């Protein structure tokens, strides 16, 4: 079910809504405020889960459909009488006992929360957003925090323990946060400004009786040893390919045709150094308009040392990873061990193999140690208002990549090896076969077809990152065996 975001309506990005209107049947998720802005909205049923913010919104939404369904807690039923008095609307009230409501798969969801960090974060954000809507509601006589039990609300989001949430707004810390947000809107953040992070971390000591805690302590000590001892060693990912400590490939092997399936191309994307690009300049010039290559944005030398082949195989060799098919839609998945992936799937890409027959590691990591590894990655120092970063780790062989596709905005950094990028704006879709590899497209289709004036391309070297705006088409091609991290910006 597509989620229609408010900023998409502001940019005219109503593709999902258009598909919804043209389809015989369909479902669409959105906020009441966004629904009010949709042109010619007509639906059979509109279901309101969160408390309505005003009588006017309910009145307007009720005119868009034949059935308007609203869920209220027992203490909020008085709002129905208020609707009848103020707007003259007629409602059929029905009481549903709790024992008649189907139970959520609480245990399964809680296990997913432990495994998938992004699902945990999104669920916590939804939990807090619901409480915010109650706390700041205009009609406090019906919607307030007075009778709310946080444990019951948390159970509705399948949390065994309610996530931390500060209910009291009038606190010095809350006021400081508001001032900081207002200041950030008017003044760009200096590049060298310190980043303040607020978090709660458990201090693990040597005599800790918790077995998991002791294993975590040993793992962190091993990380420090790897960083200290391996920074100046060469790194081997695929047989015959040797890397320098900075992540670049040794020139001695650059002419090996059996391993070098494609060469770097020209760079037509803007290249900026992080010291000359402020947050404000990034927002005004690139965030919503064009891609950009950023050099020197973050120091990930320690992370590069941790992602050496021997280190990854030592820690995670027998852990399961989920491979995705390397076609545009990545609809096929395959589970193997990381060791199997390195030894069997990271061979140079064959021109006879289609993209939907090629599998590579990117994004789906169920093992907790993968999430622990990403804690050592320094994310780019740029952001989009109202968006949160979500990390994805990838390892791929030479000649692999993903054909043209699009999604939300984000950054991508190459840790080891080189990756070639092709980008096109949303209104200039390139001509390509979604089941043919990027390598096939580059060597066989790209030279024959007419050049696209709007297409941009560049080759990322280790330590460089590319930013791609929302819904920009892009295809990738790994020139060398690559390790890379993507930072997706999710609203």
pLDDT band per the 50, 70, 90 thresholds, residue 17: confident
Positive or negative: CA dihedral 448, 449, 450, 455: negative
User: What confidence score (pLDDT) does residue 221 get?
Assistant: 65
| 369: pLDDT strictly greater than 70 | no
What value does the CA radius of gyration of the chain take, rounded to a whole number of Å?
26
> Average pLDDT, whole number, for the chain?
76
SS3 assignment, position 292 = strand
Residue 249, CA distances (Å) to 241, 305, 341, 415 in order: 7, 15, 21, 12
> Which has more pLDDT, 218 or 456?
456
pLDDT band per the 50, 70, 90 thresholds, residue 449: low
Highest-confidence segment of 154-158, 227-231, 283-287, 367-371: 283-287
Highest-confidence segment of 61-75, 130-144, 355-369, 388-402: 388-402
DSSP element (H, E) containing 489? strand 482-490
pLDDT band per the 50, 70, 90 thresholds, residue 2: low
Strand partners, 321: 336
Enter the tokens of residue 386. 């109202």
| 123: pLDDT strictly greater than 90 | no
Query: How many Å apart are CA 434 and CA 461, to the nearest integer?
Result: 26
Q: What is the pLDDT of residues 51-62, one digit of tens each?
A: 787 888 888 888
Query: How many Å apart are CA 178 and CA 164, to the nearest integer?
Result: 19
Query: How many Å apart are CA 248 and CA 242, to the nearest integer?
Result: 9
> Which has more pLDDT, 338 or 116?
338
User: What confidence score (pLDDT) does residue 214 get?
Assistant: 58
Query: In the predicted model, what is the mean pLDDT of residues 372-377?
Result: 82
- The total number of residues written for the chain in this structure: 491
Could you tell me the pTM of the whole model?
0.53
Sequence-distant (≥ 6) Cβ neighbours of residue 401 within 8 angstroms: 326, 419, 420, 437, 438, 439, 475, 476, 477, 478
Enter the tokens of residue 62. 């009720």
Query: In the predicted model, what is the mean pLDDT of residues 142-148?
Result: 75
Task: Of 63, 74, 68, give the one whose Cα is nearest residue 97.
Answer: 74
Q: What is the pLDDT of residues 377-424, one digit of tens each?
A: 899 999 998 888 888 888 888 888 888 988 889 999 999 889 999 999
Set out the domains of the chain in order of their start, with CATH numbers. 14-100 (no CATH), 212-259 (no CATH), 271-490 (2.60.120.650)
Q: What is the dihedral of CA 73, 78, 81, 82, to 10 degrees?
A: -110
Query: In the predicted model, what is the mean pLDDT of residues 334-353?
Result: 82
Positive or negative: CA dihedral 370, 376, 382, 386: positive
Enter the tokens of residue 211. 């077995």
């Amino acid at each position: 079910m597509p989620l229609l975001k408010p900023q998409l309506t502001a940019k005219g990005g109503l593709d999902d809504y258009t598909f919804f209107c043209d389809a015989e049947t369909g479902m669409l998720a959105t906020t009441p405020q966004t629904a009010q802005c949709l042109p010619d909205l007509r639906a059979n049923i509109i279901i309101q889960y969160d408390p309505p913010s005003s009588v006017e919104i309910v009145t307007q939404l009720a005119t868009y459909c034949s059935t308007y369904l609203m869920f209220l807690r027992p203490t909020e039923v008085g709002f129905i009488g208020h609707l009848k008095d103020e707007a003259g609307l007629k409602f059929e009230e029905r009481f549903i006992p709790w024992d008649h409501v189907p139970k959520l798969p609480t245990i399964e969801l809680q296990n997913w929360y432990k495994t998938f960090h992004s699902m945990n974060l999104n669920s916590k954000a939804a939990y807090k957003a619901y409480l915010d809507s109650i706390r700041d509601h205009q009609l406090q006589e019906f919607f307030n925090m007075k009778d709310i039990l946080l444990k019951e609300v948390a159970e509705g989001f399948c949390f065994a323990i309610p996530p931390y949430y500060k209910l009291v707004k009038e606190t010095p810390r809350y006021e400081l946060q508001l001032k900081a947000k207002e200041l950030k809107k008017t003044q760009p953040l200096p590049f060298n400004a310190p980043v303040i992070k607020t978090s709660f971390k458990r201090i693990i000591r040597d005599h800790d009786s918790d077995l998991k805690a002791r294993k975590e302590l040993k793992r962190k000590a091993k990380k420090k040893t790897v960083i200290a001892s391996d920074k100046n060693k060469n790194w081997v990912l695929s047989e015959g390919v040797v890397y320098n400590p900075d992540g670049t490939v040794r020139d001695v092997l650059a002419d090996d045709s059996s391993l070098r399936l494609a060469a770097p191309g020209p760079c037509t994307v803007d290249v900026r150094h992080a010291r000359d690009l402020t947050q404000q300049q990034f927002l005004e010039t690139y965030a919503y308009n064009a891609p950009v290559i950023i050099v020197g944005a973050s120091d990930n030398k320690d992370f590069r040392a941790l992602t050496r082949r021997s280190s990854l195989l030592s820690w995670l060799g027998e852990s399961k990873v989920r491979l995705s098919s390397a076609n545009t839609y990545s609809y096929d998945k395959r589970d193997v061990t990381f060791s199997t992936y390195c030894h069997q799937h990271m061979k140079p890409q064959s021109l006879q193999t289609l993209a939907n027959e090629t599998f590579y590691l990117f994004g789906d990591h169920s093992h907790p140690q993968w999430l622990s590894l990403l804690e050592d990655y320094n994310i780019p120092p740029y952001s989009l208002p109202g968006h949160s970063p979500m990390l994805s780790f990838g390892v791929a062989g030479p000649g692999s990549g993903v054909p043209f596709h699009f999604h939300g905005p984000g950054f991508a950094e190459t840790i080891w090896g080189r990756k070639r990028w092709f980008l096109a704006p949303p209104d200039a879709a390139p001509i390509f076969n979604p089941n043919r590899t990027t390598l096939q497209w580059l060597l066989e289709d790209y030279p024959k077809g007419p050049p696209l004036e709007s297409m941009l391309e560049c080759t990322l070297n280790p330590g460089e990152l590319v930013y791609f705006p929302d819904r920009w088409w892009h295809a990738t091609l790994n020139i060398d065996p690559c390790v890379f991290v993507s930072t997706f910006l999710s609203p």
